Structure 1
Amino acid sequence: MGERMLLGISGSLRAASVNRRLVREAARLYAPDRFIEADIDFPLYNGDVEDGPGVPDAVLTLVDQIEAAEAVVISTPEYNKGPSGVLKNALDWVSRVRPVRWTGKPVAVMSAAAGRAGGERAQMILRSFMVPFQARVIAGPELHLADAGNQYDADGRLLSDRYVDTLQKLMDNLQAEVTRG
């Protein structure tokens, strides 16, 4: 059996992002052989760029990482009741590369936000963004990390057993989906 690689995508570019921390916590609980955290700091999608210089190398790197991963975890913040523009932009760029590397890929989505709903609306919209890719998005349990700035210890670990238990179950379900093939 080959190396078990998990790809994590945070919908926030900030180094200390609560979504980046959540992706890292998911990876810790998933316990892959290798974890790669995607860089989605891409230029805005522009068809003229695609037709001219072509799809940026950074996008092609992400496409290769999606293909190589046994599973993907995505965490989105909630900006104005939806996922971040940077995450949507990354998905738009990836959608331009054929063949689609998401097809059949097990994917877990989650959200972390300052509000009391923990990014619930953004996560629901992110789930709909994944439909055209035909990924195998895990139904749940849904993890909406509320008041996210106060949910981690100094080492970036989740403080609440409730959130840890939910995230562990989500990662267990993601692993079960990988096993189902």
Structure 2
Amino acid sequence: MIVVSPEYNYSIPGTLKNAFDWLSRLPDAPFAGKPVSILGGSPGPVAGARMQYHLRQVLVFLDAIAFTKPEVMIGSINTKVDVTANTITDESTRQFVAAHLKAFELFVRRLRQ
């Protein structure tokens, strides 16, 4: 699973937290043992770091396996993403996200062995 989220009030957006809370009540524990990658961004310089920290705490309760490095925190995201075209416009950011996704793929493969 890949979670991409902004940071709201130093934490996880309420709707995302609510979704995880409801899913945590399912009897089959859908996140248990599953790999999860977190990517965050914001117009500011902190770039979603606090959201990622809080989401990792939630994932511990869900028994998910958080992929922690390399972290993706995109500051000034409003200058690097075109939301209408749904694309990353900044080349270095695009390469960094691609490298992260490749590393996550390898992480998932190692877990499956």
TM-score by length of structure 1 reads 0.57
* Contact 1:143–1:163, Cα closer than 8 Å, also in 2: no
* Contact 1:141–1:166, Cα closer than 8 Å, also in 2: no
Amino acid at match of 2:79: N
2:89 is aligned with 1:173: no
The answer for the alignment partner of 1:109 in structure 2 is: 38
Aligned-pair identity (%):
27
Distance in 1 (alpha carbons) for counterparts of 2:66 and 2:99? 15
How many residues matched? 110
What displacement does 1:99 show?
Answer: 1.6
What displacement does 1:159 show?
Answer: 2.0
* Contact 1:106–1:136, Cα closer than 8 Å, also in 2: yes
What displacement does 1:140 show?
Answer: 1.6
Query: Counterparts in 2 of 1:1-181, with a 5 A limit?
Result: 72-153=1-82, 155-180=85-110, 181=112
The answer for the alignment partner of 1:39 in structure 2 is: none
Query: What per-residue deviation string (whole Å, max 9, x for no partner) do you get for residues 129-181 of structure 1?
Result: 11111212111211111122221246322122322222112211221122121
Distance in 2 (alpha carbons) for counterparts of 1:133 and 1:102? 6
**Greater radius of gyration (CA):** 1
Amino acid at match of 2:86: G
More strand by share: 2
Distance in 1 (alpha carbons) for counterparts of 2:107 and 2:63? 14
Distance in 2 (alpha carbons) for counterparts of 1:169 and 1:135? 22
Runs of 4+ aligned residues of structure 1 deviating over 3 Å after TM superposition are none
TM-score by length of structure 2 reads 0.87
Distance in 1 (alpha carbons) for counterparts of 2:32 and 2:46? 30
- Determine helix, strand or coil for the equivalent of 1:123: helix
- Determine helix, strand or coil for the equivalent of 1:142: strand
Tell me, which stretches of 5 or more residues in structure 1 are unaligned? 1-71
Distance in 2 (alpha carbons) for counterparts of 1:107 and 1:122? 14
What displacement does 1:109 show?
Answer: 0.3
